[in-house]
Amino acid sequence: MTDDRRAGGGGRPRRVRIAQVAAAVVAAGAVTALAVSLTTGGGSSSAQQSLSTAPPATGSAPPPPSPSPSTSPSPSWDGKVKVLGDGSTSDTGPQPNQLKIEKLKPGEKPPQFVVFSWDGALENDDHLFSRFRKLAKENNAGMTFFLTGIYLLPEEKHGLYRPPQHDPGNAAISFPTDEHVKETLEQLRLAWQDGNEIGTHFNGHFCGAKGGGDWSTDEWRSEIEQAVSFVTNWRTNTGFTQEAPLPFDFRKELAGGRAPCLEGQKNLLTVAKELGWRYDASSPGEFQVWPSKAGGVWNFPLQLIPFGNKQVLSMDFNFLANQSGDSTQGDPRKYTSWEKQTREGYLDGFSRVYNGSRAPLFIGNHFETWNGGIYMQAIEDVMKQVCKKQDVRCVSFKELADWLDAQDPKVLDQLRRLDPAQAPDWPTYLK
């Protein structure tokens, strides 16, 4: 399905592949699936509670074509770092601005971790990537940007993508313009230098039949390798010559991802463990509890947070689905109340654990302008209110994994026994 919309509302006219997606909606404690067709620009889409019962496919997708390495790095780069491969990436040393990892002392109350994460990470004409990157810096926050690999692959090169169970060059989201690729590269450089994590949202955002829930381990390997290749070979794929390399070795930095529509985690975890990933953020619908490992990697799910007398998953799309159903442009007269409801839902979820178990709060988002941009404003307000509070650490998923790995397993077991709002006598409980 195509139309002639523009990515993010600007730039040259281009094809847009519209994703058929589903939202995870929580009502009265039960998770149900609501199918929604999104028609927003820039390829944004949602997460869902996976209800697929189809068996995994047994075949594997063909490997991506091997790009020819470029003979020289970008002329605009000063050459003071170790340039890798075709000059798309580089090794500039340890990432700056990282959380100081400390083991809890006996009886010490844990910090309150909050992770803001973004699916897709495209800098389009709305400039939301740069907006929230700057906002994080202003509020001493680290975040996780789950980059969609094909967002570094211009539309005219879409045939380089070989999606599992789909024709070459096919995707359920739109490919970017050249200008959007360049702008996204710039934001990725700055985000990493600010201390944020660059994870993966894979590539084609296929959901439902022939999506991630139907993919075999071999197909997930192909999807991951292509996602990595689009980052590590963007110079060859795009032909750009004036842009500086990314300041990190993506193969070493990549520590986890979030699957489109939260589908296929079982087979994905097998591959993630093989690759040495630290965590996976593809599991939906858990209450706010201290994390545990699944398949040998940390399981960082979307969480159930308050929504009136119900609970919804901690992602912008799930508030939208409860407020305006299958429309991303609902009744403008309700925007103010919906924004307040969304902001209060996040803050109530934060307060429940900040004053209770101190379990990490996970918030997932898309760079979007649904319902007049109210979900973006709600997240901005939440970040400003919570990240500078006493004992709060707004961090990336990778930093949280580092902190968890440094703790005494017995202490983590004690923390997992707490209900979200349960505040024990910490000196006695963690003695």
Q: What is the C-alpha separation between 207 and 282, in angstroms, rounded?
A: 13
> Which pLDDT score, from 0 to 100, does residue 210 have?
97
Query: 242-245: long-range contacts at Cβ-Cβ below 8 A with a sequence spacing of 24 or more?
Result: 242/74, 242/75, 242/76, 243/74, 243/76, 243/182, 243/185, 243/186, 244/74, 244/76, 244/77, 244/189, 245/73, 245/74, 245/77, 245/81, 245/83, 245/84, 245/87, 245/88, 245/89, 245/90
Quote the strand ranges of 16-173, DSSP E.
Answer: 20-27, 30-37, 82-84, 89-91, 112-120, 144-147
Q: What is the C-alpha separation between 334 and 347, in angstroms, rounded?
A: 20
CA atoms within 13 A on the CB side of 229: 19
Q: Which residues of the chain have pLDDT under 50?
A: 1-76
Q: What is the C-alpha separation between 328 and 37, in angstroms, rounded?
A: 9
What angle do helix axes 178-194 and 128-138 make, rounded to 10 degrees? 10
314 contact partners, CB below 8 Å, separation of at least 6: 302, 303, 304, 305, 346, 349, 361, 362, 363, 364
Both tokens of 34, joined, read 């609501």
The pTM of the full predicted model, rounded to 2 decimals, is 0.84
Which domains are present in the chain? 7-50+82-95+108-429 (3.20.20.370)
Both tokens of 133, joined, read 């990157």
Both tokens of 189, joined, read 């450089």
Amino acid letter at 167?
D
> Which pLDDT score, from 0 to 100, does residue 79 have?
53
- According to DSSP, the β-strands at 144-147 and 279-280 are unpaired
Both tokens of 187, joined, read 């934001």
> Which pLDDT score, from 0 to 100, does residue 284 have?
83
> Which pLDDT score, from 0 to 100, does residue 7 have?
30
Q: What is the C-alpha separation between 96 and 11, in angstroms, rounded?
A: 34
Q: Which residue has the tokens 């100081």?
A: 100
Q: What is the C-alpha separation between 135 and 149, in angstroms, rounded?
A: 24
Among candidate residues 187, 190, 196, 183, the one with its CA nearest the CA of residue 253:
196
Q: What SS3 state is found at 385?
A: helix
pLDDT digits (tens, 9 = 90+) for 27-37: 323 332 222 22
Q: What is the C-alpha separation between 66 and 233, in angstroms, rounded?
A: 9
404 contact partners, CB below 8 Å, separation of at least 6: 291, 298, 412
> Which pLDDT score, from 0 to 100, does residue 360 have?
98
Q: What is the C-alpha separation between 105 and 127, in angstroms, rounded?
A: 42
Amino acid letter at 121?
A
